[in-house]
Amino acid sequence: MSFSSDKLATEEVSSLYKEKIEDLHPEHPDDYLREGERWATEEDMNTLRRVGDKLPSAAVFIVLTELAERFTYYGISGPFQNYIQNGYKVPNSNPGAINGGQHMATGLGNFFQFWCYLTPILGAIIADQWLGKYKTILIFSLIYIVGDLVLTLTSIPASIRSGGALPGIIIAMITIGMGTGGIKSNVSPMVAEQYGRYRPFVRKLKNGKEVLVDRELTVQSIFNWFYWSINVGGLSAIATTELEANVDFWPAYLLPTLMFVLCIIVFWLGRNKYVITKPNGSIVVKAYRTIATAIKNKRRAKKENQLIVDENGKKLPWIDYAKPSYDISGSVVQWDDKFVDELRVAIRSCKIFLCYPIFWLCYGQMTNNMVSQSGQMNTGPVPNDIMQNIDPLCIIVLIPFFDWVVYPGFRRCGLELRPVTRITIGFLMMALSMAYAAILQHFIYAKGPYFKHAGDEGYGFNDISAAIQVPAYVIMAIAEIFASVTGLEYAYKRAPESMKSIVMSIFLLTNAGGSILAFAFNPISSNPHLVENFAIVSGLMGAFTVLFVVCFRHYDRVDEEETREKTVFEKAQ
């Protein structure tokens, strides 16, 4: 890989911020001051403690909507592994319906996750080209409900016994995945858009002290709480796995279906409060044409010995050859120099996502192989697939702790955990989580009475408590807070205004990449190969953590410089 120098990257973001301050976005109101507030000076920026602002009320409605949607998503996907892997009403066995075995269960689970994170590209294009974020979310919610109903109706006992469960879950996965794509690519940028104050300002607290209210920290806090709502919704799997084990699958799927109806109602109730951006044309098509033009013009310039240099004698980046001001072919294009600058920043920002598929490969183990792993141990009176809910429980507790204590504590000490630092810590923690799972699997196989056949059809569990699996989920939760939340924040913050949906969908696409990689692990995603499975994904995560640091360690310096540049231009405005 080749990367731009720190200086060039800083110049890129500086020019963009000049334009942004000179032409404030029409979808946001101009910055304003309330009583007890004043604009920040350069001295304030250097001396006052930085804090985030309060969450806008419109953002609260979107956060609650995401909570309800995730309640539905995790509520239906939580029982998938057992539903597909095991037979229906088999004595002395975990709950099930299809009896497809662990290979089929893991494979279909990986397909579902891949599909759910591939379709956001389509959702982003539709929102940008035709409908806007608000209408796209509403329409795709209706598609989502259709999938929920198909899954619920085909999970009734008569359908399962007549063979309708397998085609039903495949149709439901495809339909729900479509619905998810239209929602996921738009709901996260929409929630951050609700905060429309750009310039840093000073607020006097009740104790008389002044603090600097910083937009960057506010957006970071918004995404922390957004991710918190995702994991609150994820606790639905506790209810649905209990219903699956003690009643049947159809009520386990009916509950999240009803919750999704509430999701749409909550989102609709906030319609008069939202900052709604209008569609401005398909960025994907425009970006494709821009990149193609840049490549063509660069090749032509090189062939004709007409390569362009700047005032310092440096060759221009290849993407600049798409600028109308530099276009040596003289062709008429549908973009301006500013769009090319924005596209360059977007492409550069997306490079940081290249290591995320390995992170999601590890994360995906939680919903398939780690569920099967807990089924090989003594879980007591609770179903084996309830163990995965330890992860969202930990996140619910830890996100407020990080937002109120950990991050502010570092800032008080003069240390700022910039995005690359946080992502690196998250990657490292995920590698440790998988290493722990591999070591645990070794001890499970070493225990009797079923050894490496534990959890297979016709076999029970080995003599080891499932409580020993808890640390793997705790470490994974910490990894998510550092890497996943920061990735969402980075995708929004770095994306130019016109490209937020598409950059966010590209970040979500890395999850689909992890699911594709997971297919390669299917041959070792069952007994007696699970030690190798967890060990290999842990090693991959560790290797990519090192690669990430080597390639992107300088991005934190650029991020800090960008913040300074932004402050200078906002102050000048």
Q: Would you state the torsion angle of the CA atoms of residues 143, 144, 147, 152, taken in this order, to the nearest 10 degrees?
A: -140
What is d(CA 77, CA 172) in angstroms, rounded to the nearest whole number? 11
What is d(CA 408, CA 51) in angstroms, rounded to the nearest whole number? 8
Strand order through the sheet with 201-204: 37-39, 201-204, 210-213, 50-51
Strands 37-39 vs 201-204: parallel, antiparallel or unpaired? antiparallel
What is d(CA 360, CA 362) in angstroms, rounded to the nearest whole number? 5
pLDDT confidence of residue 288: 82
Cβ neighbours, 10 Å, residue 467: 12
What is d(CA 502, CA 12) in angstroms, rounded to the nearest whole number? 20
What is d(CA 367, CA 478) in angstroms, rounded to the nearest whole number? 17
pLDDT confidence of residue 19: 37
| Closest to 476 (Cα-Cα) out of 402, 395, 369, 412 | 395
The whole-number mean pLDDT for each consecutive block of 10 residues of the chain, a chain of 573 residues, reads 33 37 41 86 88 87 88 92 92 88 88 91 86 92 95 96 96 96 88 85 91 89 89 91 93 95 89 83 78 87 78 79 74 80 84 93 91 92 87 92 91 86 97 98 94 87 95 97 90 76 83 89 89 97 96 80 55 49
Helices (H), 23-119: 42-47, 57-77, 80-85, 101-118
Stated as kind and residue range, the H or E segment containing 299 is: helix 283-303
What is d(CA 235, CA 144) in angstroms, rounded to the nearest whole number? 20
| Closest to 515 (Cα-Cα) out of 142, 155, 66, 173 | 173
Q: What pTM was estimated for this model as a whole?
A: 0.76
Q: Is the previous residue joined to 200 through a cis bond, with omega within 30 degrees of 0? A: no
| Total count of residues recorded for the chain | 573
Transcribe 464-481 into DSSP letters.
Answer: SBGGGGHHHHHHHHHHII
DSSP category for residue 366: G
Which pair of tokens denotes residue 501?
A: 């949906």
99 half-sphere exposure, CB direction, 13 A CA radius:
11
pLDDT confidence of residue 564: 59
Which residues are within 8 A (CB) of 194 and not within 5 positions of it... i.e. 6 or more apart? 56, 58, 59, 62, 274, 275
pLDDT confidence of residue 545: 97
The radius of gyration of the chain's CA atoms, rounded to the nearest angstrom, is 25
| Closest to 191 (Cα-Cα) out of 65, 45, 34, 47 | 65
State the burial class of residue 337 (Cβ atoms within 10 Å of its Cβ: 0-12, 13-18, 19+): middle
Cβ neighbours, 10 Å, residue 164: 16
CB 169 within 8 A of CB 160: no
287 half-sphere exposure, CB direction, 13 A CA radius:
18
What is d(CA 568, CA 492) in angstroms, rounded to the nearest whole number? 22
Q: Is the previous residue joined to 251 through a cis bond, with omega within 30 degrees of 0? A: no
Amino acid occupying residue 153? L
132: left (phi over 0), alpha (psi -120 to 50) or beta: left
DSSP category for residue 314: P
Which pair of tokens denotes residue 130?
A: 């035709």
What is d(CA 391, CA 244) in angstroms, rounded to the nearest whole number? 20
What is d(CA 408, CA 399) in angstroms, rounded to the nearest whole number? 13
